[in-house]
Amino acid sequence: MDPKPVLALARVLPDAVEARAARDYNVRPAPVDHPPLGGDALVAQAAGADGLLVAPGNAVTAAVIGALPDSLRVIATFSVGFDHIDLDAARARNLIVTNTPDVLTDATADIAMLCLLGAARRAGEGEALMRAGTWAGWTPTHMMGTQVTGKRLGIVGMGRIGRAVAKRARAFDMTIHYHDRTPLPPDQAQGAVHHDTVEGLLPHCDVLSLHCPATPATTGLMNAARIALLPRGAILVNTARGPVIDDAAVIDALKRGHLGAAGLDVYTGEPDVHPDYRILPNTFLLPHLGSATIETREAMGFRALDNLDAVLLRGEAPGNRVA
Ligand code: DGY
C-alpha cells in the first residue's frame, strides 16, 4: 500500500514545487494547464484524492465542490486571492481551504508600481512605437506623460500589498492617502492619511491603486459615480481583481480624459480583456503578472505545500486557512 496521500494538481507548477510535491505525495499531475480545469474535468482530476491544488482560473464553484470525492480533505490555492473558490460551499462540506499570503506581497507591489509608472509615463505607447520602428526622434513635446514624483497616491485596501505599495511610493516622494476599514497604527501608517470612506478618499488621489479583495461588496467598486469623485486626469491602477472596477465606466472616463490613464494587470473574465482597453492609447496593460517572478512562484508553491503538509502529513491546522 502506498502510504503517501494523493495530491491532485489542477495546474502545472514550477519544477521545484512539483519535485517537492512528488517527494511527499502520490501526485496526480495536471493533464493540461490551459484552459484551466473546471467543472467535470476538475472533479475527475480530484477522484480519490486527499488534497487538491488549484489556482486562479480553476473555478471551484459550489457545483464542483458538491461533486468532489469524499476522500478530499483540503483544497490549497496557489494564490492569495480565493474569489475562484466558493468558500461557503467548502465550509458546508467541511473542506479546508488554504491560500498563500505574504510570499507574493513584494512582487505584486512591484507590478503595481510598474502599472503606475507605465500608465503615467506612457510606457506602453512608447514601447509599441519602438517595436514598430516608427520613432521619428526626440522632440520637446513628444509623448509627454504625467510626473509621479510628489503626487498623491490613494490606496484602497491597506493590507500587506497596499502597505508595500505605499512603501515604494514614498521613495517617489508621493503623499499617501488610503481607505481601509481599520486605520493603521501610527508606526505603520508613517504619515499616510486615513479616510473613513472610499468616497472621502477619492478627491485626494492623483493616482488611485486598488488593493482590496474581490468580494460581492467590492464588485464594481470603481463605478461612474466614484470615478467622478477623482480629480480630472487621475490615474487608475488595478492589480487586485478585474471585477473591482466597472469596465464600462472606466473606459468612458478614459475616453473623456476624466481618467488620464489606467495601468491594469487584472481583468474581468480573464483571459478576455475588454477590447477598448487594447485600443485606447492611455492604458498600460499587463497579463496578470503580479506574482510572476520565479522566486515568488516557487515560494507560493512551497507555501501551498506547507498548508497541505500540515493537514495531510501531520494532521495539524494549516497556517493559511481561509475556510
Ligand atoms: C493571487 O495570488 O491572488 C494573484 O492574483 C496571483 O498572482
* Best residue among 108, 241, 266, 320 to mutate for probing ligand 1, ranked by most atoms within 8 Å of CB: 108
* Average confidence (pLDDT) over 29-51: 97
- Which atom of ligand 1 lies at the shortest distance from residue 292's CA? 7
Q: What is the pLDDT of residues 279-308, one digit of tens each?
A: 999 999 999 999 999 999 999 999 999 999
Q: List pLDDT tens digits, range 216-226.
A: 999 999 999 99
- Determine the Cα–Cα distance for residues 138 and 199; give it in Å rounded to an integer: 41
Shortest-distance Cα residue to atom 6 of ligand 1:
79
Mean pLDDT value across residues 37-64: 98
Looking at the chain, the whole-number percentage of residues with pLDDT higher than 70 is 99
Domain 6-102+294-312 and domain 105-285 have a common topology: yes
For domain 105-285, give the fold.
Rossmann fold (3.40.50)
φ, ψ of residue 201 in degrees (nearest 5)? -75, -40
Closest-CA residue, ligand 1 atom 1, reads 79
What value does the mean pLDDT of the chain take?
A: 97
Residue 1's pLDDT is what? 52
By C-alpha distance, which of 241, 236, 239, 237 is closest to 213? 241
Residue nearest to atom 4 of ligand 1 (CA): 79
pLDDT digits (tens, 9 = 90+) for 160-196: 999 999 999 999 999 999 999 999 999 999 999 999 9
Of 161, 291, 298, the one to substitute when testing ligand 1's pocket (max ligand atoms within 8 A of C-beta) is: 291
Instruction: Select from 65, 17, 70 the least CA-distant residue to 298.
Output: 17
For the question of an ipTM over 0.90, the answer is: yes
Q: What is the pTM of this model?
A: 0.96
Tell me how far apart the alpha carbons of residues 260 and 296 are, in angstroms, rounded to a whole number. 32
| Count of C-beta atoms within a 10 Å radius of residue 313 | 15
- Sign of the dihedral through C-alpha 213, 274, 37, 23: negative
| 292 CA from centroid of ligand 1 (Å) | 9
Ligand 1 atom closest to the CA of 290, numbered from 1: 7
Ligand 1 atom showing the smallest separation from residue 288 Cα? 7
What's the pLDDT at 3?
85
Helices assigned H by DSSP within the chain: 15-24, 39-45, 62-67, 87-92, 105-120, 123-132, 160-170, 186-189, 198-201, 224-227, 247-256, 275-279, 294-312
Position 104 scores a pLDDT of 98
- Active-site positions read 241, 270, 288
Cβ–Cβ < 8 Å for 29, 11: no
Percentage of residues in the chain with pLDDT exceeding 90?
A: 98
Could you give phi then psi for residue 211, rounded to 5 degrees?
Answer: -140, 35
**pLDDT (0 to 100) of residue 110:** 98
User: pLDDT by residue (tens digit) across 235-250?
Assistant: 999 999 999 999 999 9
Nearest to 156 by CA among 227, 91, 99: 227
Q: Which residues line ligand 1 (CB under 6 A)?
A: 56, 79-81, 104, 290-291
Q: How far apart are CA 219 and CA 231, in angstroms?
A: 22
Instruction: Give the mutation target among 58, 85, 104 for probing the ligand 1 site: most ligand atoms within 8 A of CB.
Output: 104
Phi, psi of 221 (to 5 degrees): -55, -50
**Which numbered atom of ligand 1 lies nearest the CA of 99?**
2
- With 70 as the cut, is the pLDDT of residue 2 above it? no
Side-chain half-sphere of 238: how many Cα atoms within 13 Å? 26
Q: Which three cell numbers stand for residue 288?
A: 496578470
Distance 59 CA to ligand 1 centre (A): 14
Nearest-angstrom CA–CA distance, 213 and 85: 13
| Sequence ranges of the domains in the chain | 6-102+294-312, 105-285
Task: Classify domain 6-102+294-312 at the CATH topology level.
Answer: Rossmann fold (3.40.50)
Question: How far, in Å, is the centroid of ligand 1 from the Cα of 43?
Answer: 23
